[in-house]
Amino acid sequence: MHALKVAGDMGARYAEARYHRIESWGASSRNGSIISGYSELSEGIAVRVLVDGVLGFASTNNLSREGVVEAVRIAVSRAKAHANIAKQAIEFSDARLGRAKYSVAPLKKFSDVDLGEKLRIHKEFWSSVSKVVQEAKVPVATLSYSEWIENKVVVNSDGAYVESFIPRISIYYNIVVHHPQKGYIQRFESFGASGGLEWLSKWNIVESSAEEAKNLEKVLLTAVEPPKESIPVVVGSEIVALIVHESCGHPSEADRILGREAAQAGKSFIKPNMIGYVIGNKNATVIDDPTIPGSYGFYLYDDEGVAARPRYLYREGVINEFLQNRATAKVFGVESNAAARAMDYASEPIVRMANTYLKPGDHRFEELLEDVKLGVYIKSYMEWNIDDERWSQRYVGLEAYLIENGELTKPVRNPVLELTTKSFYSNIDAVGKELRFYAGTCGKGEPMQGVPVWFGGPDVRLKSIRLGVIA
Partner 1 sequence: MSVELDQISKLVNELIKMGFEEAAAKATLSNVVMTKIANSSVSVVQNWRRVTVDLYLAKERRIFVLRFEPKSFEELYKPVESILSMSRTVEESPIYAPLPEPSKIKYVEEVYDKSIVSGMEDIGRLAERVIEVAHRERIDSVAGMLQIGEAKTVLATSKGALLEERKTFLQSYLRAFAEPDGSGQWCFTSTSLDVKGLESMAFTASRYAVDSRNRSDIEPGVYDIILSPMVFGNLLEYIVSMATGFAVIMGWSMFMKNKPGDRVASEHLTVLDEPRNRELPNFRSFDDEALETFNKPIIENGVLKTLLHNTKTAKALNASSTANAGWISPEPWNIVVKPGNTSLDEMISEVRRGILITNNWYTRLQNYVEGIFSTVARDAIFYIENGRIVKPVSKLRIADKFTNILNNIEMIEKSLYNIQWWEVSTPSKIPYVLIRNINTSKHVI
Q: Which of residues 275-314 bind partner 1 (CB under 8 A)?
A: none
- Comparing CB distances to partner 1, the nearer of 300 and 398 is 398
Residues 317-346 that bind partner 1 (CB under 8 A): 346
Q: Which stretch binds partner 1 (CB under 8 A): 178-186, 192-200, 272-280, 315-323?
A: 178-186
Least distance between partner 1 and beta carbon 345 (Å):
8
Binding of partner 1 by 435 (CB under 8 A): no
Min. distance of Cβ 99 from partner 1 in angstroms? 26
Answer for which of 251, 393, 432, 437 binds partner 1 (CB under 8 A) is: 393
Please say whether the beta carbons of 80 and 139 come within 8 A. Answer: no
Q: Give the β-pairing of 355-358 and 449-457.
A: parallel
The interface region with partner 1, picked from 158-166, 285-293, 378-386, 450-458 by CB under 8 A, is 378-386
Lay out the site mask for partner 1 across 238-257 (x = CB under 8 A, - = otherwise). Answer: --------------------
Query: One symbol per residue from 80 to 109: x for binding partner 1 (CB under 8 A), - otherwise; what is it?
Result: -xx-xxxxx-x-------------------
Nearer to partner 1, 64 or 181 (CB): 64
Identify the residue among 101, 204, 259, 282 touching partner 1 (CB under 8 A): 259
Q: Is 30 in the site for partner 1 (CB under 8 A)?
A: yes
Residue 153 within binding range of partner 1, rule CB under 8 A: no
186: alpha, beta or left? (left if phi > 0; alpha if psi -120 to 50): beta
Q: Is 3 helix (H, G, I), strand (E, B) or coil?
A: helix
Q: Which amino acid is at 94?
A: D
Cα angle 359, 365, 371 (rounded to 5 degrees) comes to 110
Residue from the set 113, 274, 278, 416 that interacts with partner 1 by CB under 8 A: 416
Contact with partner 1 (CB under 8 A) among 8, 13, 77, 158: 77
* Least distance CB 262 / partner 1 (angstroms): 4
129 binds partner 1 (CB under 8 A): no
Helix (H) and strand (E) counts in the chain: 10, 25
Toward partner 1, which CB reaches closer, 252 or 347? 347
Check binding of 440 to partner 1 (CB under 8 A). Answer: no
CA distances (Å), origin 341, targets 29, 48, 54, 80, 320: 31, 13, 20, 25, 22
The secondary structure element, H or E, covering residue 94 is none
Which residues lie across from 392 on neighbouring strands?
Answer: 420
181-210: which residues touch partner 1 (CB under 8 A)? Answer: 183-186
Residue of the chain from 108, 382, 429, 435 that contacts partner 1 (CB under 8 A): 382
Which has the closest alpha carbon to 259: 394, 385, 351, 354? 351
- Per CB under 8 A, the segment of 49-57, 195-203, 298-306, 310-318 that binds partner 1 is 49-57
Does residue 72 contact residue 7 with C-beta atoms inside 8 Å?
A: yes
444 in Cβ contact with 333 (< 8 Å): no
186 or 281: CB nearest partner 1: 186
Cα–chain center distance at 159: 30
- Cα angle value 217/223/229 (rounded, 5°): 150
Binding flags for partner 1, 396-415, as an x/- string (CB under 8 A): x-x---------------x-
* Nearest approach, Cβ of residue 125 and partner 1 (Å): 14
Closest approach of Cβ 416 to partner 1, in Å? Answer: 7
59 Cα distance to chain centroid: 25
- Pick between residue 127 and residue 291 the one whose CB is nearest to partner 1: 127
What's the rounded Cα separation, in Å, for the pair 116 and 331?
54
CA 115 to chain centre: 29
Least Cβ distance, residue 406 to partner 1 (angstroms)? 24
SS3 content of the chain, % helix, strand, coil (to 5): 25, 40, 35
Residues with Cβ within 8 Å of residue 156, at least 6 apart in sequence: 4, 14, 15, 16, 17, 97, 304, 305
